Amino acid sequence: GTELQLRVRITPLGNRFLLLLAADRTEEVRLAGVRRDFVANVSHELKTPIGAVAVLAEAIEAASEDPERVRAFSKRMQVEAERLGRMTKEIIDLSRIQADDPLEDAARVPIARVVDVAVDRNRVAADAKRMRIIPRVLDDVEVLGSEELLTTALQNLVANAVQYSPEATHVGVGVRVQDGIVEIAVTDKGVGIAQEDRERVFERFYRVDPARSRVTGGTGLGLSIVKHVAVTHGGEVTLWSRPGQGSTFTLRLPAASHHREETA
């Protein structure tokens, strides 16, 4: 508040411009708050796995006479270290999307390729649960944007579908175009998401079941990355779910027009 007043007083310009400046300043202050919250959240979330690694290292030292326990503690240490690695990667993904110009490398991105890569990167996890991922892609569908970010977003949705579903179920990935909007839908037959959690799952670090999520290695960042990527591309992500029966997450993005200006 005080900072804002100061700005207004020292600026020797007309009223309308002053108003704009004030609005700008408010957004700046809001963004600074968002960044501060993010840093606070990150430090808080990193403390848990880092603390666990430290405690496990001590436990291993104390149990050095007992190979069985050393092995068990080492295994748990590996799990925590992997989780730390995942969190670090996701934090970097997030800060990249929140950077000044996340679409610096914008290009026409073939959605069929995005789907292929996103599905491929989840192959091992799906096989481990005897699950099949069934993609139904359309050729010639393109979106203007960052292939890397779009792939990361879809990869996260498919990873969740595998993660939050029972063994031997199927995950569908479908693509369609409607009124100039590309819809990429990821459908699972998993645990589903209760009504009261449907908005919140897109918040950073939000997990429906933190205890379970700790075991499975979730970070609570995946869906906030998906949402940021969607919004950055002028689109959105929507969620349909029936608890106990499954969920469908749909990325909706503006299609790149078929007419290539350079060749027109």
Residue 17 vs residues 4, 9, 26: alpha-carbon distances, Å: 14, 13, 14
How far is 207 from 214, CA to CA, in rounded Å? 10
3-class SS of residue 87: helix
Closest of 176, 106, 171 to residue 140, by C-alpha = 176
Q: Which of residues 234-253 bind ligand ADP (CB under 6 A)?
A: 247
Closest of 145, 157, 132 to residue 247, by C-alpha = 157
Binding mask 160-199 for ligand ADP (x = CB under 6 A): xx--x-----------------------x-xxxx------
The nearest distance, CB 205 to ligand ADP, in angstroms, is 8
- Applying CB under 6 A, the span of 5-13, 38-46, 97-105, 221-229 interacting with ligand ADP comes to 221-229
The nearest distance, CB 246 to ligand ADP, in angstroms, is 7
Q: Which is nearer to ligand ADP, 141 or 235 (CB)?
A: 235
The nearest distance, CB 47 to ligand ADP, in angstroms, is 17
Q: Are strands 170-178 and 132-136 parallel, antiparallel or unpaired?
A: parallel
Q: Is 219 in the site for ligand ADP (CB under 6 A)?
A: yes
The nearest distance, CB 137 to ligand ADP, in angstroms, is 20
Among 83, 189, 207, 227, binds ligand ADP (CB under 6 A): 207
Q: What are the structure tokens assigned to 228, written together?
A: 């940021």
**CA of residue 76 relative to chain centroid, distance:** 25
Structural contact between residues 67 and 75, judged by C-beta atoms closer than 8 angstroms: no
Contact residues: ligand ADP, CB under 6 A: 156, 160-161, 164, 188, 190-193, 201, 206-209, 213, 218-224, 247
